[in-house]
Each structure stands twice: as C-alpha cells, then as structure tokens.
Chain A
Amino acid sequence: MTMQTQHLIDSLAEGLTPVSLRAVERRIGTALALGMATSLVLVATTLGIRHDLMDALQGPVFWMKAFYVASLAALAGFASVRMARPDTAPPSWLWLVLIPVSVIAVLAGLQMGSAPPDAWPALWLGKSWKVCPFLVLGLSIPIFIALMRTLRKLAPTRLRATGALAGVTAGAAAALVYCLHCPESTAGFLLVWYSGGISLAGLIGAALGPRLLRW
C-alpha cells in the first residue's frame, strides 16, 4: 500500500462521526419540506390563495386534486430516495403511478358522459389551461433546487433517471401547493394540465440530471 493511501485512510478514520442509517430519507424529506415551504410563500405572495379555500376544503374536488398530486409526489419521492443510493435501479413499483392516473382518467370520462357536448371544452380547458402547467413548473423550481442539491451530496449513479424522478417529485409537490390557488374543478383539467406541468418538470430534471448531479 502506498504511503499516500495509508495516510488517507488514517485521516478518514480519524474524524469519523456516526451517521444514521435513515439519513437519506431524512435529508430528502427535509429538502422537500423546505422547497415546498418556499413555494407556499411564493403562492401566497404572488398568485394568492383562492378566496373560497375554506368552502373548497369541504367539497370533494379539492381533495381529488390534492390526493392525485400527493400520490404522485409520494411515489416519485420514495423512488428518488432509492436512487440516492449507488447500487439501485429505478424501483419496480413505479408502475403504481398508473393507478392515480387511471382513476382521474375514469373520473374525467364520467364527467364528460354526464355533460352536454358543448360543455366538453370547458371540462378539459377550464379557465387557466394556458398558465397552469407553467405555474406548476415555476413553483417546482425551489423544490427541484433543494432536491438536486441534496441528491448531489448523496450517491446517485444513474443521473438521468434520478434527475427525472427528482423533477417529477418537485413538479407533483409544487402542484400540491398550487391547489391552494387554483380554482379549476374538473378531472379532465387535472389530468391534462397538472400532469402536463409535472411531466415538464420531469423532462427538465432528466435533461439536467447528468450535469447537476455529478459528483
């Protein structure tokens, strides 16, 4: 063994501090919470919280939206935790995202079936389709930055996949915050424009992953 390597080992062992086996989960959780708190402040100060929020909390529509994006955020978040370890592949249970997506697709179909055809465009486009995906994307920025900074210090080895999952996590978490502002109420709108914004965040994450996550 060369002297240099031996020195390195000595100095590494010297300053050893204990670490927790659950540190990865905790770090990513903290990053997610900090990012979402920032997005929340952004929504409250720039877009504004919807005035009828208290009424909305009583009805099912708000919770349909919240559960949809929260389930996506949870799945992508747990997958990101896995990707932070070097010896893992994207988890096989990722197909579970199809469940919330299909539930919302079925609901969208049912709403279409019970509405007259001339109301269909409103079901899919609402009033804010032009801005919704971009607002979700914008709100995902602080969350995305927090996640990427944390992941970089861990040990992802599949940088593109990790970036994509971090992007989807950030997008879905941002969409959850955006629910506090957005007055749209149809499943079709949720399916297309919310998912659109989340996917956009995922694509950007995949594009930036190899550059931002390198260690």
Chain B
Amino acid sequence: MLAALAGDARSYHEMLNEAVPLLRVYFRRRLGPAGEDIEDLVQETLIAIHTRRETYDGIRPFTAWMFALARYKLIDLLRRGRAEVSFDGLEEILSGCDFESAAMARMDVDALLASLPAKQARAIRDTKLKGLSVAEAAAHEGLSVADVKVSVHRGLKQLALRLKGK
C-alpha cells in the first residue's frame, strides 16, 4: 500500500486484487453466504480504499484500515435498511470474527518482519512462527543460543513499538 500511495500502479493493482477475497469473506461472514449485497459492498469498499487512500497513515497495519472502511460500508448498508439481519446476531455481525485477525496477521506479519534487521526477523520467524526451539534455531542459523535470544527479544520489542504507532 505504501508503494501504491507513492503512485506505483502495479503494486496497487496487485494489492486490490488481494483485498477482494478478504473483503468477500468479511462481508459473507456477516451477511450470510447468499447475501446479494456482498459484491456491491466489495466494490464500494474498493472505491472507498481508492478515493480515501490519503487517510491511511502508513504506520498502523493496512488491513486494520481496510476493514475499518469495510465495516463503515456495512453499517451504512444496514442503516439504509437494504440488508435484513436479525437483531440477535447483530453483535456478532459488527464485532470482529477470527477470520479478520487471521487475515490481518498473515498479511501484516510479513510486512512487519520486513521492517526489522534480517537477523532479528529470521530469529523471530524460526522461534515464534516455525516453532523451532531456540537451540534448533541457533544451530540452523549458525549462531549462538544467546545471540538468537537477544535477536528475538530486540526484534519483538521493536515490533511492539511499531504496533503502538511509535
């Protein structure tokens, strides 16, 4: 998205294409698989991403921004009374589902790790994502155990700061 904001049409095109399935699932989870408004909402959200792209601040996760636009479009639709949903499920409709966090995690972890020094990123990927033990990761990377531990610690601290928007 940062490349897109700078005017790179190709990465923008790619990013919108990746966004479509995420948005479709997002709306389908909330309106049911047969919701006829889903494709309209997806398109409206794409247009909102485009016309309001200035409001992405480049610091916080892109997906959080995108789903906030999607949520607004969904509420707007419900308010106009075009889609029918029962009040019982309303809470669930508006609050997030696991899907979102999973999608956000998948897209953003890569972006976040890319912002770290390569050594820290590899250490975190090995120990926290692939599930290797510190000793295995150290052997794998040819580093000392202490080195891996320090890299993980520093990397996570850095990530925590970034997520807080600092």
Interface, chain A (partner B; CB < 8 A)? 1-2, 4-5, 8-10, 12-14, 16-21, 23-24, 27, 84-87, 153-155, 157, 214-215
CA distance A153 to B51 in the complex (A): 8
- Other-chain contact of A86, B7, B8, B9, B72 (Cβ < 8 Å): B72
Q: Is the CB of B39 within 8 A of A2?
A: yes
CA distance A12 to B46 in the complex (A): 9
Q: Is the CB of B39 within 8 A of A14?
A: no
Q: Is the CB of B16 within 8 A of A86?
A: no
Additional pairs, 17, CB under 8 Å, beyond known A12-B12, A155-B48: A4-B39, A5-B20, A9-B16, A9-B17, A10-B13, A18-B5, A21-B5, A21-B58, A24-B54, A24-B55, A85-B56, A86-B65, A153-B51, A154-B52, A155-B55, A157-B72, A215-B52
- The 9 A-B pairs at the shortest CB distance, nearest first, are namely A18-B7, A86-B68, A87-B68, A13-B13, A23-B54, A155-B52, A155-B55, A16-B9, A9-B16
B8 nearest CB across to chain A (Å) = 8
A84 nearest CB across to chain B (Å) = 6
Asked if A154 meets B55 with Cβ closer than 8 Å, knowing A5-B20, A14-B9, A18-B7, the reply is yes
Q: Is the CB of B54 within 8 A of A8?
A: no
CA distance A86 to B74 in the complex (A): 13
CA distance A14 to B54 in the complex (A): 17
Q: Is the CB of A8 within 8 A of B9?
A: no
CA distance A84 to B57 in the complex (A): 11
Interface size on B, residues (CB 8 A): 36
A186 nearest CB across to chain B (Å) = 42
Task: Tell yes or no: B42 within 8 A of A by CB.
Answer: yes
Chain B binding surface, main DSSP class = helix
26 intermolecular pairs with C-beta atoms under 8 Å apart: A4-B43, A8-B43, A8-B47, A10-B13, A12-B16, A12-B50, A13-B12, A13-B13, A13-B16, A16-B12, A18-B7, A19-B5, A19-B53, A20-B5, A20-B54, A21-B56, A21-B58, A24-B55, A85-B55, A85-B56, A85-B57, A86-B52, A86-B65, A86-B69, A153-B51, A155-B69
Which residues from A are CB-within-8-Å of B16?
9, 12-13
A159 nearest CB across to chain B (Å) = 9
Q: Is the CB of B54 within 8 A of A9?
A: no
- Other-chain contact of B7, A8, A17, A84, A85 (Cβ < 8 Å): A17
CA distance A1 to B16 in the complex (A): 12
CA distance A107 to B76 in the complex (A): 47
- Considering only CB atoms, which chain B residue lies closest to A21 in the complex? B58
Which residues from A are CB-within-8-Å of B122?
none
- Considering only CB atoms, which chain A residue lies closest to B39 in the complex? A2
Q: Is the CB of A19 within 8 A of B54?
A: yes
A7 nearest CB across to chain B (Å) = 10
A88 nearest CB across to chain B (Å) = 8
- 48-89 of chain B: CB within 8 A of chain A: 48, 50-58, 60, 64-65, 67-69, 71-72, 76
